[in-house]
């Protein structure tokens, strides 16, 4: 396309290319610019009730759990998530469904006309466009996932009825700091005075609590105000005098407990039977997603220490059933590679490395050099699809293949199987 500004009749792809070109930085922390545009266009003060969700891991799962539980009660729900796996449309849902391209084109077009000369990053455009769509559709609740950190993230311009921190761990250290206390303080920036602030982390950094108390947020903390337990078959959540037991969900019990606690604070808990049905049916794309039964193939976006540890626990139960685990790993350059590999090493027997053709991605050779410092690499491939073509024929009935390390890795794995089945 040319350098000209797209129009309302342009394609979504044209708009996305334009947004990638007009701002030199993928990430630029700060709220002034995005707040300026939101105020001019009236995107913040709307009747919709906003739940703001931050966290190192678990944001998408917690948001989807909240979405289903609210929908079960007849509320209309807008959900904003990032990044997407395959299509940009995955980022914005209304009542659980993706929207046609024209919704996004209309929102981008109105933003381009309304922003004046204020520069916006790709993520800021996407956030404001989502708010514009939710305003247009007049949804009852908006579930807004924070992109990076919290305090200076574009999503933090809203006035939430509840703020949520799912987990706190090390990621994006160049922006958020190199300790959990620094990361936690940044994420706590989404708290508001006298507004419920629900924290699901199991080892909450003191900075989160300190800041919440300092501004008089209505703190609701895991292990203090709510607890959960789980075994092979069941999940129990307790908050105050309320104690509910359900079949163990496919999602992390910690995320389910956090979502239930948010709704309890807002007096929005559904009927117990509705909760049970929602938890039973909940599947999140790219989170331990089964791509094939024969051979047995899963994919997962795990790309940092905490998410890799959780993935390893999921695989341990299958390993105990006699499965030999093969892994294809592809990662971005700015991640904690050693921590991820260390977490997965006890469960993976056969390691294969794939490169990611992405400006932030590691080449196959770069990642192999890192992985071989900890484990033996049996195969190195330029792309995830190359690795899958080579590894899949090696699998037998007792094999399991896990493809993980990045949203980009998962997207390529899903695309590979979609194309194979077409």
Interval 380-406: pLDDT, tens: 999 999 999 999 999 999 999 999 999
**Separation of alpha carbons 17 and 342, rounded Å:** 38
**Separation of alpha carbons 39 and 343, rounded Å:** 45
- What CATH architecture is 12-281? 3-Layer(aba) Sandwich (3.40)
Name residue 229's beta-bridge partners.
236
Domain over 289-421 is classified CATH 3.40.50.10860: no
Q: What is the mean pLDDT of residues 20-31?
A: 70
400 and 325 in contact (C-beta within 8 Å)?
A: yes
61 and 310 in contact (C-beta within 8 Å)?
A: no
**Structural domain boundaries in the chain:** 12-281, 289-421
Q: What is the mean pLDDT of residues 345-353?
A: 96
Task: Please tell me the predicted confidence (pLDDT) of residue 333.
Answer: 86
Q: How many CB atoms lie within 10 A of CB 227?
A: 15
Q: What is the mean pLDDT of residues 167-182?
A: 74
Q: Of the ranges 61-65, 287-291, 356-360, 368-372, which one carries the lowest mean pLDDT score?
A: 356-360
Q: Which residues does 241 contact at the CB level (< 8 Å), separation at least 6?
A: none
State the first-to-last Cα distance of the chain, in angstroms, to the nearest integer.
30
256 and 166 in contact (C-beta within 8 Å)?
A: no
Q: Of the ranges 28-32, 229-233, 349-353, 391-395, which one carries the lowest mean pLDDT score?
A: 28-32
154 and 187 in contact (C-beta within 8 Å)?
A: no
Which candidate, 305, 273, 362, 28, places its Cα nearest to that of 169? 305
Report strand pairing: 141-145 vs 49-54. Answer: parallel
Do 12-281 and 289-421 fold alike per CATH? Answer: no
**267-326 pLDDT, tens per residue?**
999 999 999 999 998 988 888 999 999 899 999 999 888 899 999 999 998 998 999 999
Q: Is the preceding peptide bond at 336 cis, omega within 30 degrees of 0?
A: no
Q: Which has more pLDDT, 178 or 296?
A: 296
52 and 155 in contact (C-beta within 8 Å)?
A: yes
Q: ∠ CA(110), CA(142), CA(283), 5° rounding?
A: 115
- In 15-165, the DSSP E strands lie at 49-54, 77-80, 92-94, 97-98, 141-145, 162-165
pTM for this model (two decimals): 0.88
**56-91 pLDDT, tens per residue?**
989 999 999 999 999 999 999 999 998 899 999 999
**33-58 pLDDT, tens per residue?**
999 999 999 998 899 999 999 999 89
Task: Please tell me the predicted confidence (pLDDT) of residue 2.
Answer: 43
Q: What is the mean pLDDT of residues 245-259?
A: 93
Q: Is the preceding peptide bond at 253 cis, omega within 30 degrees of 0?
A: no
Using CA atoms, how far residue 316 sits from 24, 144, 200, 329, 398, in Å, is: 43, 33, 24, 18, 14
Task: Give the model's confidence band at 1: pLDDT under 50 very low, under 70 low, under 90 confident, else very high.
Answer: very low
54 and 146 in contact (C-beta within 8 Å)?
A: yes
Mean pLDDT across the chain: 92
**130-172 pLDDT, tens per residue?**
999 999 999 999 999 998 889 999 999 999 999 999 999 866 5
The kind and range of the H/E element at 367 are: helix 364-371
Task: Please tell me the predicted confidence (pLDDT) of residue 320.
Answer: 87
**Separation of alpha carbons 327 and 111, rounded Å:** 43
Place of tokens 């849902």: 93
Q: What stretches of 115-252 show up as alpha helix (H) in DSSP?
A: 122-137, 173-176, 180-187, 206-214
Task: Give the model's confidence band at 4: pLDDT under 50 very low, under 70 low, under 90 confident, else very high.
Answer: confident
In the sheet where 350-354 sits, what is the strand order? 289-292, 296-300, 399-404, 324-329, 350-354, 377-381
**Separation of alpha carbons 243 and 229, rounded Å:** 11
Q: What stretches of 282-336 show up as alpha helix (H) in DSSP?
A: 305-320
Kindly tell me if the per-residue pLDDT of 262 is higher than 50: yes
Q: Of the ranges 97-101, 105-109, 316-320, which one carries the lowest mean pLDDT score?
A: 316-320
Query: φ, ψ for residue 337 (rounded to 5)?
Result: -60, -45
Task: Please report, rounded to a whole number, the percentage of residues in the chain having pLDDT higher than 70.
Answer: 95
Dihedral of the alpha carbons of 314, 320, 324, 330, in degrees to the nearest 10: 20
């Amino acid at each position: 396309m040319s350098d000209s500004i797209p129009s309302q009749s342009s394609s979504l792809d044209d708009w996305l290319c334009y947004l990638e070109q007009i701002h030199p930085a993928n990430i630029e922390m700060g709220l002034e610019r995005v707040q300026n545009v939101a105020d001019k266009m009236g995107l913040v003060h709307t009747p919709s009730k906003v739940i703001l969700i931050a966290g190192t891991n678990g944001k998408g799962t917690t948001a989807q759990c909240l979405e289903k539980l609210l929908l079960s009660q007849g509320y209309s729900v807008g959900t904003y998530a990032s990044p997407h796996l395959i299509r940009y449309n995955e980022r914005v849902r209304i009542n659980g469904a993706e929207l046609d391209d024209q919704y996004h084109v209309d929102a981008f077009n109105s933003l381009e006309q309304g922003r004046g000369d204020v520069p916006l990053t790709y993520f800021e455009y996407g956030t404001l466009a989502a708010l514009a769509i939710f305003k247009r559709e007049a949804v009852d609740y908006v579930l807004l996932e924070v992109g990076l950190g919290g305090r200076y993230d574009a999503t933090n311009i809203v006035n939430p009825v509840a703020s949520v921190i799912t987990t706190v761990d090390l990621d994006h250290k160049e922006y958020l700091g190199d300790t959990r206390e620094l990361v936690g303080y940044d994420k706590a920036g989404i708290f508001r005075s006298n507004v419920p602030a629900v924290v699901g982390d199991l080892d909450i950094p003191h900075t989160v609590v300190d800041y919440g108390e300092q501004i008089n947020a209505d703190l609701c903390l895991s292990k203090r105000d709510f607890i959960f337990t789980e075994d092979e078959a069941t999940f129990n959540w307790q908050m105050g005098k309320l104690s509910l037991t359900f079949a163990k969900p496919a999602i992390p019990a910690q995320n389910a407990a956090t979502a239930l606690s948010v709704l309890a604070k807002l007096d929005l808990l559904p009927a117990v039977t509705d909760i049970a049905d929602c938890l039973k049916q909940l599947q999140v794309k790219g989170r331990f997603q089964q791509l094939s039964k024969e051979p047995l193939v899963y994919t997962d976006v795990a790309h940092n220490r905490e998410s890799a540890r959780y993935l390893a626990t999921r695989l341990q139960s299958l390993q105990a059933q006699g499965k030999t685990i093969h892994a294809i790993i592809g990662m971005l350059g700015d991640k904690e590679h050693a921590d991820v590999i260390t977490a997965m090493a006890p469960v993976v027997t056969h390691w294969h490395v794939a490169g990611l053709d992405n400006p932030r991605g590691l080449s196959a050779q770069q990642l192999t050099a890192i992985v071989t410092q900890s484990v033996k690499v049996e195969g190195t491939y330029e792309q995830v699809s190359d690795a899958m073509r080579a590894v899949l024929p090696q699998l037998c009935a007792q094999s399991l293949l896990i493809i993980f390390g990045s949203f980009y890795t998962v997207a390529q794995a899903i695309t590979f199987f979609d194309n194979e089945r077409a």
